[in-house]
Structure 1
Amino acid sequence: MAETVPVRCPACRRDHLYAPQIYPCACGAPLAPPMLRGASPQPITHRTWTDDWVTVRCQECARQDQWPQPELGCPCGTVLRIPVRPVSAAVPTPPASSGPGSLLRPAHIPFPRTATVPRPSFRPVTIRTARDAVTAAARYLTWLGFSDVVQPEVSPSSGIDLRGPGLVAQVDPSTHPATLRDVECLWLNGLNTSAASVFFSLAGYAEDARARADRLGIPLFVMDLTGSPQPVNAPADELISTGV
């Protein structure tokens, strides 16, 4: 299993336990970036595609490759970059057993115990481009139970990136937190079409945007580059718990 490290959000001082995503190396061994214990997480205020990847070395085959920088979305809306041990400082571990059950399945968002209908594991889509972010959000909405989630052939001026029966969703892949206006426009689109509204953002949300979403009942999610959305408000938690 991936090592778990304590993380304290510098913005709201909330404590979290964080375990990085596990992915298979090219050799088939489960691999996760090694956490740098004792290092302080850094809020992400500016995001670039090239800076959000880290070099990780496989302990089985010694292969080095680029992996998404571990990130954590705090419920306060802050997105934190979790420090990783440099490859030069990585400590080798004994080879993993090759017996049955020795390979770990990729980590996924656990389905809450309050839920009544179990889901299969969510399979994320690694985000490298803005289109990848929309694809990851569409896959997640389908996992939640929405049907026929599609991206409009022509991007409307409203900013709606995904639609489905009874659903409108916006995906903000920019390097700036989503604004109050973004949330209100999404809500109005949902109101006009009698559809549920869901928002995904890579850079989190402005404080007033999150407060308005809470009052309007709009689920807010943040996504890291692994393509695994995390809920940041109560409506998002409820959507995960109950599904569609």
Structure 2
Amino acid sequence: MWAMSESVPLRCPACRREHLYAAPSYPCACGAPVTPHLDRRGTATAVTHRAWEEEWITVRCESCGHDGQWPRPELGCPCGTVLRVTVAGAVAEAVAGTVAGAEAPPGPAPEARPALRRPFQPVAIRTARDAVTATALYLRWLGYRDIRRADQRPPSGIGIAARGLLAQVDPTVRPASVRDVECLWLTAMTESSRCVYFSLAGYADDARGRADRLGVPLFVLDLTGTPRAVNDMADQLDASGTA
């Protein structure tokens, strides 16, 4: 279970109810917990619309200095309002594709992961956004860096990318189809990247067969946010990470 930061008072702008909120900590690649520093003087704002660029922030690990990308802290008020919490010193551009104002430099393979990995710490899935967060955490655990929104939007689901990898997250209640798998594979081929598919509802039988022939790792996300390997390629990716 992740550690929590110091609680800060929040007031809902809709119903004026008072809350105490503590931001969750996320595991850095070095193993240290990373917690966004909340602005105690900031004012919580109501989320009235969703924009991908506003969903993520960059937070620096105080142990190793790595800039990681994490979900922006939010709190649901019982009145139904979602509160966006002000973070001190965070850069709200992470998964939009840049870090510290610069494009991620092209490179071959992502940096290698440590030989020994800590156990994966998932985040429970309640929304489509949670499914993307769980996938991003898992890819980071595997050793991938510079996780961002994919340049091309997939026909279904949500595309995210890392250096050398293209991933598709399907948070719908229908099994992924053979067309979904083929489109991901073709897009990855044009970008000279590996690809991997994550689905909440699993895969049609022909989609699993085509993925095996194309070499596409398939994972099913359970509601705890833990990816479960569906085929041999996924087992190999889970075991080896970016190696």
Scaled by the length of structure 1, what TM-score is found?
0.51
| Distance in structure 2 (CA, Å) of the matches to 1:118 and 1:222 | 24
Note the alpha carbon deviations across 1:109-145, whole angstroms, 9 max, x for none. Answer: xxxxxxx921011110111100110110111011111
Q: 1:235 corresponds to which letter in structure 2?
A: M
Equivalent in 128, 133, 136 of residue 135 of structure 1 = 133
AA partner of residue 156 (structure 1): R
CA distance 1:117–1:231, change in 2 (3 Å):
same
SS at match of 1:208: helix
Tell me how far apart the structure 2 counterparts of residues 155 and 193 of structure 1 sit (CA, whole Å): 10
Unaligned runs of 5+ in 2: 3-113
- After superposition, residues 12-27 of structure 1 pair within 5 angstroms as none
Equivalence map 1:83-98=2 (5 Å): none
1:182 is the counterpart of 2:151: no
The share of aligned pairs that are identical, in percent, is 55
Q: Which residue of 1 aligns with 2:84?
A: none
The separation in 1 between residues aligned to 2:216 and 2:227, in whole angstroms, is 15
What is the alpha-carbon distance in structure 2 between the residues aligned to residue 136 and residue 147 of structure 1? 15
CA distance, structure 1, for counterparts of residue 146 and residue 140 of structure 2: 8
Rounded to whole Å, the distance in 1 between the matches of 2:229 and 2:140 is: 16
- Give the AA of the match of 2:159: D
2:205 maps to 1:197: no
Ranges of 4+ aligned residues in structure 1 off by more than 4 Å? 157-160
Which residue identity is paired with 1:132?
Answer: D
After TM superposition, the score normalised by the length of structure 2 is 0.51
Give the superposition deviation at 1:158.
4.5
What are the equivalent positions in structure 2 for 1:75-114 lying under 5 Å apart? none
Matched residues, number: 132
Cα distance change of structure 1 residues 243 and 178 upon mapping to structure 2, 3 Å threshold: same
Does the alignment pair 1:168 with 2:132? no
Offset at residue 161 of structure 1 (A): 1.5
Is 1:118 matched up with 2:113?
no
Post-superposition offset of 1:151: 2.4
Contact 2:168 2:198 survives alignment (8 Å): yes
C-alpha RMSD of the superposition? 2.3
